[in-house]
Each structure stands twice: as C-alpha cells, then as structure tokens.
Amino acid sequence: MTDPAATHGLWADLCRPDFSPAESDFSIIGIPFDGLASARKGASHGPERIRFWSQHMTPFSEDRTRLKNIRICDLGDIGISHPARDFERVRKNVAALPNVPILLGGDHSVTIPIFQGQRERFKDKRLGVLWMDAHPDLCDEFNGSKFSHACVLRRGLEFGIKPEDVCLVGLRSWEYQEIDLIENGGLNVYTAADVAERGMKPIAADVHKILSRCDAVHVSLDIDCLDPAFAPGTGIPDSGGMTSREVITLIKSLQGLKLVGLDVVEVAPPLDESEATVFAALKIIMEFIAVIVRERQPGL
Ligand SMILES: [Mn+2]
C-alpha cells in the first residue's frame, strides 16, 4: 500500500495475501451492497474504507492483548447485483468457512445470507445471535421486499434461530409490524434506554448468561446501534443510542462464549466526512478479535 496514511499493513499487519482460510483464525469478506437500504445509501463503500483504515490499526486491543500471532485472511468482496441470486454466493461462502468470519457490509440485508450460512455450518448446534442495532429488523416485508434491511432478523428466525437464543441490544425504533414479536415473541430485548438506565455491565452479564446456553454465537452489529454522536455515517442515524464505550464493554464481556462470526453493517462512509464511523467499526472489530485471542491464549 502506498498511501502515506497507511502506517501498517492491511488488518494491522495480521493479514498476508498468501494466507488461506484453513490456516487463518479469521476470514474477512466484504459485501459492498446497499441496494436494499430504505433511506440513505452509502454502505456499499463500507468495506473499502474499513479495509483502508485497517492499515492504521496496531496489532493490540485497548487492554494491550497481543494480536501478533493470529492470522487474518482477507477473501476480498462478494459483489451483489441481484440479491435473490447473489445472496446465495454469500451463504455458500460463509457455510464453507473453517474459521471465524468477519463480514463487512453493506446494508443489513447482507446478514440474511450470513444467517443462512451460519445455520448451515452449525446445523446440528444451537446457534445464538447477539443483535446490536437501533432497529429490530423484524418486518415480514418492507418496501415490497422480503430481503429488505428491515426484515433481516425475521428471516433469521425463519431459518431456525430460536427467539430465546437472540439478544437484541440498543433498540429504540419500531415499525408497527414488529411490535407483536418484540412484546410477545420471546426475544431478549434490551433497549438503548435500558442500557442508559441500568448500565451496560448488568445487561452484558444477562446477555452472557443467555448466550452461554448456545453452542455457537454470531454477532450482528449495525453501526446505528451507536448514537449518531459516535457514528453519524449511517443510513438512518437515530438519536439516543449507545456510546462507543458501552458497545466495547459489551463486546469484551463476550469472553467465554463460543463466538463463530461477526458482521458489521450499515457503515456509510460518504455520510461521514470525518470517517469516525469507519474508525468506530474498526475499533469494534479489533476488540472482537481480541476476545477470541484471549479465549485461546489466556494471560495475553
Ligand atoms: Mn439499524
């Protein structure tokens, strides 16, 4: 990389072009698609800017967990021009991975085939989901599409993820068609207001207890779970969201769970000239990686 802003190699020097998924701890896949975002677009630029600034990351977490012995394989992007057809490629790619995928959206619709792929990988296992978002995305159909970014978790439940194995954190915006599932659907709901009132630590403890019953846990993080003060570059910024610190606290508390994947979606760089939204996404990704490193190498 020749850009002077690049102080490190791709993914904090942890990625080499010759690493294969089989010999790596993590696989990065970009899905630069925002065709199903309902308001403002721009998330298709997420993977490129996140990768670019990954060259500015250092191979440490904030508590100085050493990351240098892990390997990251960057598999590039999966292009989506026709969701009904191309989402299938995402599903197949995820289903075949031997390590922990970190997927970069794209609008949240890309998580639909990610859920499918993860269900396939862990088909005989209990797959739990930590859903961090301003929105529950539980609509059956939105803007005439069942693949809309407002329908993602609804599809996930249809793929066999059990409501009691889903924790939603940071919620604060609703559609009428979501209310019954939210109030009577058996999901574990922690609103952004709950986080502000109770504090993240007790909520993170609840989430850990619930997800510890699962054999595999996927984390889906819509960057709009953060307050727009921390992440303005997203299609639908919704005030009253979580702080970066609260989200990092929750990520770090996942230690001990069987984490099998992360997607970070709705990062829309054209909507944030400062690129703070991109850096927020990267910080969360590095802390997620560190959780898994600490799990494997206690004491680091
Ligand atoms: Mn959202």
**Could you give the angle at the alpha carbon of 157 between the alpha carbons of 155 and 163, nearest 5°?**
150
How confident is the model at residue 5, as a pLDDT?
64
Indicate the Cα dihedral angle 42, 73, 128, 235, nearest 10°.
-10
Separation of CA 273 and ligand 1 centre (Å): 20
Q: How far apart are CA 100 and CA 290, in angstroms?
A: 13
Q: What's the 184 CA to ligand 1 centre distance in angstroms? A: 21
Whether 2 shows a pLDDT value over 60: the answer reads no
Rounded to 5 degrees, φ, ψ at 181 are -65, -40
Tell me the three state secondary structure of residue 289: helix
Distance (angstroms) between ligand 1 centre and the Cα of 16 equals 32
In this prediction, residue 299 carries a pLDDT of 59
7, part of any domain: no
Q: Give the mean model confidence (pLDDT) for residues 146-160.
A: 95
What tokens appear for 202 in the block? 């007790």
Closest Cα to residue 104, out of 249, 9, 223, 20?
223
pLDDT above 90: residue 116: yes
Distance (Å) from CA 42 to ligand 1 centroid: 14
Query: Please, which pLDDT band fits residue 118 given cuts at 50, 70 and 90?
Result: very high
CA dihedral 292, 293, 296, 297 (to 10 degrees): -150
Q: Is the confidence at residue 170, as pLDDT, over 80? A: yes
Residues with CB in 5 Å of ion ligand 1: 133-135, 222, 224
Domain holding 237, by residue range, is 21-296
- pLDDT digits over 174-205, tens only? 999 999 999 999 999 999 999 999 999 999 99
Q: Does the residue 272 lie in any domain?
A: yes
* Conformational region of residue 13, where left means phi above 0, alpha means psi within -120 to 50, and beta covers everything else: left
* Distance separating alpha carbons of residues 225 and 223, to the nearest angstrom: 5
pLDDT for 297 = 74
The alpha carbon of 294 and the centre of ligand 1 are apart by a number of angstroms equal to 29
Q: Is the pLDDT of residue 6 over 80?
A: no
Say how many Å lie between the CA of residue 238 and the centre of ligand 1: 9
| pLDDT at residue 95 in the model | 98
Whole-number mean pLDDT of the chain? 95
Q: Which pLDDT value is given to residue 73? A: 97
CATH of the domain at 85: 3.40.800.10
Gap between the Cα atoms of 121 and 127, Å rounded: 10
- 4 found inside a domain: no
234-289: pLDDT as tens digits: 999 999 999 999 999 999 999 999 999 999 999 999 999 999 999 999 999 999 99
Please indicate, yes or no, if residue 92 is contained in any of the structural domains.
Answer: yes
Answer with the residue of higher pLDDT: 148 or 215.
Answer: 215
Please give the model's pTM, rounded to 2 decimal places.
0.96
pLDDT for 90 equals: 97
User: Considering the domain boundaries, does residue 73 fall inside one?
Assistant: yes
In this prediction, residues 152-180 reach a mean pLDDT of 97
Task: For residue 6, tell me if it sits in a domain.
Answer: no
User: In angstroms, what is the span from residue 135 Cα to ligand 1's centroid?
Assistant: 4
Total tally of structural domains belonging to the chain: 1
Nearest to 137 by CA among 102, 94, 168: 168
- For residue 120, give both structure tokens: 């396939």
- Residue 296: band (very low, low, confident or very high) from pLDDT cuts 50, 70, 90: confident
pLDDT at residue 1 in the model? 46
**CA atoms of 61 and 287, how far apart (whole Å):** 6
Q: Is residue 12 situated within a structural domain? A: no
Residue 274 belongs to some domain of the structure: yes
Q: How far is the CA of 225 from the centre of ligand 1 (A)?
A: 7
* pLDDT score for 277: 98
CB 125 within 8 A of CB 162: no
Helices 46-54, 276-296: crossing angle, 10 deg rounding? 60
For the chain, give percent helix, strand, coil, nearest 5: 40, 20, 45
Radius of gyration in angstroms for the set of CA atoms belonging to the chain, rounded to a whole number: 17
Cβ count near 245 (within 10 Å): 10
**Rounded to the nearest whole angstrom, what is the distance from the C-alpha of residue 291 to the centroid of ligand 1?**
24
Mean pLDDT score, 145-154: 93
pLDDT higher than threshold 70 for residue 46: yes
